[in-house]
Structure 1
Amino acid sequence: MLAPLLGAVLAVAPAVGASAAGDATASPSASASAGPQLPLTPSSVDPESGTCAKVSPTQVGATPWAQLSLDVAQANKYTRGDGVLVGVVDTGVAPQAAGLAGRVHAAGAAAQDCVGHGTFLAGVIAASAVPGSGFAGVAPGARVVAERGTDQWGRPSAELVAQGIEAAVAAGAKVVDVSAALSADTAPLRAALEHAAAKDVLVVAPAAPDTAPESSSGQSSEPPPASYWPAAADGVVSVLDVDINGAHPDGVPQPVHADLAAPGDGITGIGPKGTGNYVANGASVAAAFVAGTAALVRAHLPHLTAAQTATRLEATAAHASVPLLDPSAALSTVLPTAAPSAAPDPALHLPEPAPTSRLVPRAWALAGACLLLGVLTAGAMTVARLRTSRRRTGRNPA
């Protein structure tokens, strides 16, 4: 879907990449100097500053490039995700955030979002349009359950992520979006993922962190791990972020493997306060687009299991080194089945074939009846011709 819409997308694309991670603001227009400046939503904030997300005074009326490239409007003609509950395991979600009011279940610490990142991802997944803004989430009919996977400053831990996944599953989520990319797994985290799979819940996670870890010298403190968790676990859909050209942004950790790619560079969204727009970057944002699409699939094709939903998302993605998410194709494509269903179609009733031992006598009986009928018919016709001949000649035939 990226190529056909590239011309329209470029007209409203944000000139923001991973390099803007340290900037206070970022432009949503094609030129950094030509458009309004939007506050950047980081994945975490410095605890020493104690600075929480500020209110954005700016709304962007144009449809963001990510929604255009994914053709979200077309996907929403099939479904808006109504009836599906999506868990967001991140920094929390503000229940009254623009476009989410009335559809967020958040209790305790999960209802407080100082960083704004959890609210941003929840908006990408499920926010509805608000007056004056061209932004809307992928599944604006879905509901959100917020769980903390970090401390109040956005610093994740395996223990908090595991607890967040467990809580979201217990709340009835059918899709769980996790923002963390941890360098190692733990037994509780593996147990939480296994529990989610047993409950038919699809977990989506970033294949790499949003930014590379740095030391005090500004360089990478250590070689990156080969895999990040929970994305590396079996059954979890791992997601890589791409820019407007479909390429992974420079300077961002490159994972060894990812199942899907989705927009994650200069993404427009919402914040925990006000109706203004914000911008964010990274694989965690890309994972939110996949989680929203998974909610659409689970609403439109409710008979599919979590594993089948993941297979459909990957099978219908656009061909690339990492397949590019395609929401409309995920909802509309007819995929070949691996084997016929063992259960017969209840609307189709076919008679059972008769055993061979019964077919043979019946065949002989039918042939004999046909032969007898032919003999009788021929005899009757012969007698009729003879009688006609006798009347004409006056002779009595032998």
Structure 2
Amino acid sequence: MFGDRSRRAAAGTAGAVLAAGVMLSLTSLPAHADDEPVTLPPLALELADDVACTAASDTTAESRPWTWRALQLTRARQLSSGEGVTVGVVGTGVGADVPALSGRLTAVGEAGVDCVGHGSFAAGLIAGAAAEDGAVAGVAPAAEVVAARATTERGAPDAATAAAGVRAAVEGGASVIWVGVALRGQHDGLTEAVDEALAADVVVVAPAAPDVSPEQLPAGEELPPRDYWPAAMPQVLSVLDFGPQDVRADGAPLPLAADLAAPGGDVVGIGPEGQGHFLGTGPSLAAAHVAGAAALVRSHAPELDREEVVERLLRPAYPDVVPRLDVVASLTSFLGRPVALPEPEPAVVPPPAPAEPATRALWTAGIGAAVVLVVGALIAVVPRGKARGWRPAGSAPPLPGDGPAVPGPRPRRRAERAEERAGASRHEEAAVGLAPVVAQSAGVRATPGTGAPLAPRGETDAAAPHGGGGMAQQRHRPMTPSVPPLPPAGGGSGGGRHG
């Protein structure tokens, strides 16, 4: 899977970039910030039969090694320390009395004795805890360690021993396994053991190329790139190293490809016993750093399976010819799983809307607008017409004498009310028996109470109307108007005074 993505890279390109530099077996590191540099003993890879086992180092590095900053361990520790995770260390064994792993080490068989010291060094890089006021510690200092052998007692790689060590680590509960060997050929037993570990959801990390000492490097000759096992297996996370100057040792073996690169040159670590430190270089040490990072991820996100943990390590890595490990990004990146979306249902296009409702709506809106306009015009015109007496617009009012004026509504109403009052008065006069009013001739005074005209003084009877003898007898005496008697006040037949 992830191994195949990078293993097909061109070997010539990788070799040109990664084979530069000079390997150092010894280096000077300060014991204190202000003290003179001290020299650390080199890490052994394999011991001859006549060489004694590696003893404890009497030199201690008390300043932070360059790998601490390169891996950003200060920030990573704020997120995870590897608690609850067990890491299998399959190599030369791990010293049972190493103080940095005290109380967290389980050795399978004879793996509790590390004659070479290489397995103890790698275990310290993965899960070592710093001594009191110490500056050197592993990536996941709270993780448990299961130690098993992948080599002989003297450090010679052996495929059968490595296969047994992988199975022992799985049985010991490891969820991350570091295999410290890089074999030239594929071995069925080791391949089967690794496949079993992968099927058990274990992250397997291995060096992409073997570690070599300076005397093993060919002088002026570069080894051709090739595959190494078990790192060449598709599901194994293969790791290559780089040093403090971002280079590898000149002439160091190259793989055809690798999944990740991590600090592996001039690395400071613990020995098989005591609290002293050694200095080592090689891809197996870079793989130990990646195994520690895998332990941090598994502790930080225990719900992730093996493939998801590996993806967390690969995808946020720094881009390079071989991507470089970024521990903090592996802990903080969110890589969601693709979600299978349901097949969308066929789209249903609704039929076109009928035209009748739209036409009806337009007619309704037009009629409504016309009604509004008419009402508004009436509101504006009627008051003005009343004020002009309904004369046409622009015409002047009639002058006196130009003709009968057409009375307005108010004069008409006043005339009607006056006529009504006059009619009411006539009815009242008829009720009390008043004589009718006779029109007076011009120049003749009417006799009060009779309505008959009186002859003017000095006229003769001939001037008076004929047939009026009664009136002739009254010409020479004062005329008293004839007033009808009023009815008695009390309503009786006598006893009252007439007025």
Deviation (angstroms), 1:77: 0.6
Contact 1:90 1:117 in 2 (8 A): yes
Matches within 5 A, 1:21-32: 25-28=26-29
Q: Corresponding residue for 2:226?
A: 226
In structure 2, the residue matched to 1:309 is 309
| Structure 2 counterpart of 1:74 | 75
Deviates more, 1:195-204 or 1:91-100: 91-100
- Whole-Å separation in 1 of the counterparts to 2:120 and 2:219: 30
1:241-260 alignment runs, 5 A limit: 241-260=241-260
Residue 323 to residue 218, structure 1, CA distance change in 2 (3 Å): closer
Residue number in structure 2 paired with 1:389: none
User: What pairs with 1:166-177 in structure 2 (closer than 5 Å)?
Assistant: 166-177=167-178
1:41 counterpart SS class: coil
Q: Which amino acid aligns with 2:40?
A: L
* AA in 1 matched with 2:339: P
Instruction: Give the C-alpha shift of residue 221 in structure 1.
Output: 11
Name the CA distance, whole Å, in 2 between partners of 1:181 and 1:260. 16
How far apart are the structure 1 equivalents of 2:65 and 2:175? 27
AA partner of residue 184 (structure 2): S
Q: Distance in 2 between matches of 1:239 and 1:207?
A: 5
2:151 paired with 1:146:
no
**Against the structure 1 CA distance between its residues 163 and 225, is the aligned structure 2 distance closer, same or farther, given a 3 Å change threshold?**
farther
Percent identity over paired residues:
42
Q: TM-score, normalised by structure 2?
A: 0.61
Larger RCO, structures 1/2 (Cα 8 Å, 6+ apart): 1
AA at the equivalent of 1:237: L
Alpha-carbon distance, 1:212 to partner:
7.2
How many Å apart are 1:130 and its aligned residue?
0.4
1:239 alignment counterpart:
239
**Distance of 2:155 and 2:261 partners within structure 1:** 24
Q: Which residue of 1 aligns with 2:39?
A: 37
Once residues 272 and 171 of structure 1 are traced to their aligned partners in structure 2, the CA distance between those partners, rounded to angstroms, is 21
Residues 1:43 and 1:85: Cα distance change in structure 2 (over 3 Å): same
Aligned mates of 1:249, 1:133 — CA distance in 2: 29
Deviation at residue 334 of structure 1 after TM alignment: 1.9
- Is 1:18 the equivalent of 2:20? no
Question: SS state of the match for residue 28, structure 1?
Answer: strand
In structure 2, C-alpha distance between the alignment counterparts of 1:223 and 1:239, rounded to whole Å: 18
1:107/1:189 CA distance change after superposition, 3 Å:
closer
Alignment match, 1:194: 195
Q: TM-score, normalised by structure 1?
A: 0.76
Q: Does 1:100 align with 2:104?
A: no
Distance 1:200 1:342 in 2: 27
Q: List gaps (5 residues or longer) in structure 2.
A: 1-20, 351-499
Q: Name the counterpart of 2:339.
A: 340
1:1-398 to 2 correspondences below 5 Å:
18-20=23-25, 25-28=26-29, 35-49=37-51, 51-211=52-212, 226-337=226-337, 339-340=338-339
Q: Cα distance, 1:68 vs. partner?
A: 1.2
State the SS of the aligned residue for 1:164.
helix
Counterpart CA distance in 2 for 1:18 and 1:222 is 14
Matches of 2:185 and 2:28, distance apart in 1: 35
Q: Deviations over 1:208-254 (max 9, x none)?
A: 01117988x96699965610000000110000000113223322112
Which residue is 2:460 aligned to? Answer: none
CA–CA distance in structure 1, aligned partners of residues 130 and 213 of structure 2: 33
Equivalent residue letter for 2:64: T
Q: Tell me how far apart the structure 2 counterparts of residues 322 and 29 of structure 1 sit (CA, whole Å).
A: 31
Report the CA distance shift for 1:266/1:172 in structure 2 as closer, same or farther (over 3 A): same
> Structure 1 residues 341, 59: closer, same or farther in 2, change over 3 A?
farther
AA paired with 1:165? V
Q: Distance in 2 between matches of 1:95 and 1:118?
A: 11
> In structure 2, what is the Cα distance between the partners aligned to 1:53 and 1:19?
19
1:279/1:341 CA distance change after superposition, 3 Å: farther
Question: How many positions carry a matched residue from both structures?
Answer: 336
Deviation per CA, 1:348-397: give whole Å up to 9, x if none: xxxxxxxx9xxx9xxxxxxxxxxxxxxxxxxxxxxxxxxxxxxxxxxxxx
Measure the CA separation in 2 of the matches of 1:212 and 1:227. Answer: 20
What letter is aligned with 2:196? H
Alignment partner of 2:38: what SS? coil
Distance 2:22 2:37 in 1: 15
| Per-residue deviation, 1:198 | 0.7
Post-superposition offset of 1:190: 1.1
Distance 2:286 2:125 in 1: 9
Structure-2 separation of matches of 1:163 and 1:205: 16
Give me the whole-angstrom Cα distance separating, in 1, the residues matched to 2:163 and 2:304: 25
Mapped partners of 1:125, 1:109: distance in 2: 21
1:197 Cα deviation after fit? 1.0
Question: Cα–Cα, structure 1 residues 60 and 131, in superposed 2: closer, same or farther, change >3 Å?
Answer: same
Gaps of 5+ in 1: 1-15, 344-355, 361-398
Larger Rg: 2
CA contact (8 A) 2:30 2:61 kept: no
8 Å CA contact retained: 1:60, 1:132: no
- Assess if the C-alpha contact under 8 Å between 2:61 and 2:277 holds in 1: yes
How big is each residue's C-alpha offset from its partner over 1:153-191, in whole Å with a ceiling of 9 and x where there is no partner? 000111111111111011110000011000011111111
